[in-house]
């Protein structure tokens, strides 16, 4: 296992990533698995999956995505277009001599995975979406409308925090109240998000009051300290993913590409158990775009299934990749 860096020629951004070569079985080797983290994370969030998948013989490439960790942190939101970031990920694969990969995304990493599947389908053996489904291209993101719909369907706003994340100065506030923010994002009780994350203005009130929730039991003190070391001081650059979303900077690229929302490769949707936090229709929406779809659920209800339900996630990933083959 090694930490490597790569600089795509087109952008000159420096990417840092964990690399593990696949094991050879005779003259052939198992494929490589690409792991795409979300927010507020780095490749460190795959700490339970990397050794397990490597023990099965798979290669691993787990980058710190743009704005995170040891990777470049451009301040220009235009750098966070999903088309260019997808091309940068492909450049990493090319630099390692890797052709096709199994690709896994979590949270905002699923948005990047969606565009990888759209722009570079020939490079993907399969796609795995953890907790967040495929994001169809070419649609304008309207945060007010999204919050209105979730109020009508769920009875509460689910994405009010997105407006705060996209606002100027939000990263500084997350850095100032980093411990409070961490306990809100990794709580023992996931339903805390209904009152303190989803409603517009709720996260700001939580932070400035420096509230602390009971921390999830799957986070050790060492992991908490490591996460804060990696993220504090870098929240603002990572939030550019949300600023790109709210400002719809990908709309022109996606419309020009005339992308059909269709996944030709095998797809796994892996979610928590059903709860009041989930928008209905997630499975049906995936079946509409993926003809070869497997849907699995773990026994836990939280968002961070690769941490909380690590053994279940690992087993399901191993079975899925084994069934797909090379």
Q: What is the DSSP letter of 22?
A: P
Q: Quick check: pTM over 0.95? A: yes
Task: Give the Cβ contact number of residue 296 at 10 Å.
Answer: 16
Q: Which residues of the chain have pLDDT under 70?
A: 1, 25-27, 325-326
Q: What is the pLDDT of residue 10?
A: 80
> For the stretch 14-31, what's the b/e string if a residue is b when 16 or more beta carbons lie within 10 angstroms of its beta carbon?
ebbbbbbbbeeeeeeebb
| Enclosing H/E stretch for 195 | helix 192-196
Torsion of CA 247, 37, 113, 13, to 10 degrees: 70
Residue that is written with structure tokens 């709210």 in the block: 246
Residue 48 burial (C-beta neighbours within 10 Å; 0-12, 13-18, 19+): middle
Helices 82-95 and 109-119 cross at an angle (nearest 10°) of 80
pLDDT tens for 146-174 read 999 999 999 999 999 999 999 999 999 99
Report the pLDDT value the prediction gives residue 326, as an integer from 0 to 100: 67
pLDDT reported for residue 29: 82
Distance CA 282, CA 278 (A): 8
Tokens of 79: 């750098």
Q: What is the pLDDT of residue 27?
A: 63
User: What pLDDT, on the 0 to 100 scale, is given for residue 296?
Assistant: 97
Write out pLDDT tens, residues 235-244. 999 999 999 9
Domains of the chain: 2-139+251-323 (3.40.50.1820), 143-246 (no CATH)
Phi-psi domain of 39 (left: phi exceeds 0; alpha: psi -120 through 50; beta: other): beta
Residue 11: predicted pLDDT? 83
Cβ 73 vs Cβ 67: under 8 Å = yes
Q: Give the chain's length.
A: 326
Eight-class DSSP state of 126: E
């Amino acid at each position: 296992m090694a930490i490597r860096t790569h600089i795509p020629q087109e952008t000159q951004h420096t990417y840092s990533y964990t690399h593990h070569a696949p094991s050879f079985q005779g003259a052939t080797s198992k494929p490589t698995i690409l792991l795409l983290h979300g927010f507020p994370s780095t490749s460190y969030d795959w700490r339970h999956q990397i050794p397990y998948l490597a023990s099965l013989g798979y290669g691993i490439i787990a980058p710190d995505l743009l704005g995170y960790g040891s990777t470049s942190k451009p301040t220009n939101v235009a750098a966070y277009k999903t088309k260019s970031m997808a091309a940068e990920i492909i450049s990493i694969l090319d630099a390692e001599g890797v052709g096709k990969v199994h690709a896994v995304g979590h949270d905002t990493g699923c948005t990047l995975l969606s565009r990888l599947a759209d722009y570079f389908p020939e490079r993907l053996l399969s796609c795995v979406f953890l907790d967040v489904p495929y994001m169809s291209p070419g649609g304008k993101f309207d945060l007010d409308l999204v919050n209105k719909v979730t109020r009508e369907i769920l009875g509460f706003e689910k994405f009010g925090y997105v407006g705060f994340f996209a606002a100027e100065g939000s990263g500084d506030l997350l850095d100032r109240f980093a411990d409070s923010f961490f306990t809100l994002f990794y709580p023992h009780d996931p339903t805390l998000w209904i009152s303190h994350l989803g409603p517009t203005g709720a996260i700001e009130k939580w932070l400035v009051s420096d509230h602390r929730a009971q921390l999830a039991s799957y986070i050790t003190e060492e992991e908490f300290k490591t996460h804060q070391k990696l993220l504090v001081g870098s929240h603002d650059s990572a939030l550019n993913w949300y600023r790109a979303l709210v400002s719809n900077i990908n709309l022109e690229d996606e419309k020009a590409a005339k992308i059909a929302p269709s996944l030709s490769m095998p797809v796994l949707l892996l979610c928590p158990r059903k709860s009041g936090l989930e928008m209905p229709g997630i499975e049906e929406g995936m079946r509409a775009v993926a003809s070869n779809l497997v849907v699995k659920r773990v026994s836990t209800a939280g968002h961070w299934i690769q941490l909380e339900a690590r053994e279940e996630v690992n087993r399901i990933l191993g079975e899925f990749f084994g069934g797909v083959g090379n």
